[in-house]
Amino acid sequence: MDFALTQEHELIRESAQKFAEHEIKPTIAELDLQHTSDPTTLKKMGEAGLLGIGIPAKYGGTDTDYISLGLVCEELERGDTSARVVMSVHSGLHCMTLLQWGTEEQKHRWLPDLASGKKVGAFGLTEPNAGSDAINIKTVAKKDGDHYVINGQKTWISLADYADQFLIITKLAETDAKAPYAAFIMDRNTPGFSSRPLKGKLGVRAGNTGEIFFQDMRVPADCMLGQEGDGFKVAMSALDHGRYTVAAGAVGIITACLDACVPYCNDRIVGTEPIGKKQLVQQMIASMAKGRDIGRLLYYQVGWMKNTGQRHTREVSMAKWVNCEAAFDAANKAVEIHGAYGFSAEFPVERYFRNSRGAMIYEGTHEIHTLVQAEYALGYRSDKPLAQNLPTYPFES
């Protein structure tokens, strides 16, 4: 067993950290305050090569492994959740799922532009009446010659207004398949597509979130990922990848809390000593360090399982569940340590508190992961190997 990061991992971590330092942190407080997303961040992420992480060179990617993807997510979220969300949606939910389920032709068709950042991908599963209960989606695709006609709507879609293409999950109007679901990659320029931003979010205010609508939208049949009947499995695999990026990002929030609290604890004097010398404060700092270290081990393990082509549905659910709770707890403690300053946008910890709350809802609520873990522990849920896996790392050339 080898826990060491490679030199390449360290370099990737360092460059993501620099990106967060120079391109995210200087403007984030104002963007967050104004509830505004900055589309140039996406462009800059593409130029920095971040959008090609985890994608093999033969499809135009950086040929870096899946642990690298986690490291980038951790460092970006140390800057702000909105930047990590871009990685979760574009790289995790969209590109990794395409890498897992696409035919060779589909991967060559779409991945090079996605990896270079020329195009941005997003994901659509959730609907107004189907969040946790994903099986009950209503968006429907009906076969018509060599196309499918799609009608319906998706909500809480990150990058709804910016993404060039979406991986969407639909029901099938008519099919012989046992599970009547399908997954499509669709272009936003398809007639019948529209989007609308969602306003008034508690957190991730510098991130774009919206609704997308499909009205008699004709999508070519060769844009289907997998076969008729595979749609729900494609959705669940996408969540295996998205949850990984969220779990890694949660560690970044905890680190950001420590980044804020350590100098504050040393500078803030109460009586004759800095508050860092007070044992109740130390207890909160220790708890943050515990969350960060456990969180890293959990997501590194999932990254290793992805690299080696193992199914990791149970492990990624655990990592996402544990890390997101730890991040929210750390942010709550960071607010506590800062006292009244923690309640003010003058300090970043109130943003960490709001942002970390969202991660306990999206990509599987706290309750869904609790149930999933209980079902695995009780033997009600099986982890049989999957028919489709991500390419193992090192990638074939």
Name the residues annotated as catalytic: 363
Nearest to 388 by CA among 53, 122, 107, 148: 107
Judge contact between 345 and 33, C-beta under 8 A.
yes
Instruction: Please give the helix or strand (H or E) that residue 121 lies within, else none.
Output: strand 121-124
* Contact residue for ligand CAA among 17, 41, 126, 356 (CB under 6 A): 126
Burial call 27-55: b when 16+ CB within 10 Å, e when fewer: ebbebbeeeebbeebbebbbebbbbbbbb
Token pair 């690299």: residue: 307
What is the rounded CA–CA span in Å between residue 328 and residue 293?
15
Contact call for residue 173 and ligand CAA (CB under 6 A): no
What is the rounded CA–CA span in Å between residue 116 and residue 325?
34
Site string for ligand CAA, 137-166 (x = CB under 6 A): -------------------x-x--------
Nearer to ligand CAA, 239 or 298 (CB): 239
Checking DSSP bridges between strand 269-270 and strand 140-144, what pairing results, if any?
unpaired
Choose the stretch contacting ligand CAA; rule: CB under 6 A; options: 16-24, 26-34, 132-140, 165-173.
132-140
Choose the stretch contacting ligand CAA; rule: CB under 6 A; options: 2-10, 221-229, 264-272, 364-372.
364-372
Token pair 């130390």: residue: 282
Choose the stretch contacting ligand CAA; rule: CB under 6 A; options: 22-30, 74-82, 231-239, 329-337.
231-239
Contact call for residue 130 and ligand CAA (CB under 6 A): no
Nearer to ligand CAA, 321 or 362 (CB): 362
What is the rounded CA–CA span in Å between residue 270 and residue 224?
62
* Contact residue for ligand CAA among 364, 390, 391, 395 (CB under 6 A): 364
What is the rounded CA–CA span in Å between residue 241 and residue 93?
6
Nearest to 18 by CA among 49, 40, 39, 43: 49
Nearer to ligand CAA, 107 or 369 (CB): 369
- Residues from 294 through 313 that contact ligand CAA (CB under 6 A): 313
* Residue showing the smallest CB distance to ligand CAA in the complex: 236
Judge contact between 388 and 282, C-beta under 8 A.
no
* Contact residue for ligand CAA among 38, 74, 350, 363 (CB under 6 A): 363
Site string for ligand CAA, 66-95 (x = CB under 6 A): -----------------------x------
Contact call for residue 55 and ligand CAA (CB under 6 A): no
Nearer to ligand CAA, 17 or 158 (CB): 158
Chain residues that interact with ligand CAA, rule: CB under 6 A: 89, 123, 125-126, 131-132, 134-135, 156, 158, 232-233, 236-237, 239-240, 242, 313, 362-364, 368, 372, 386
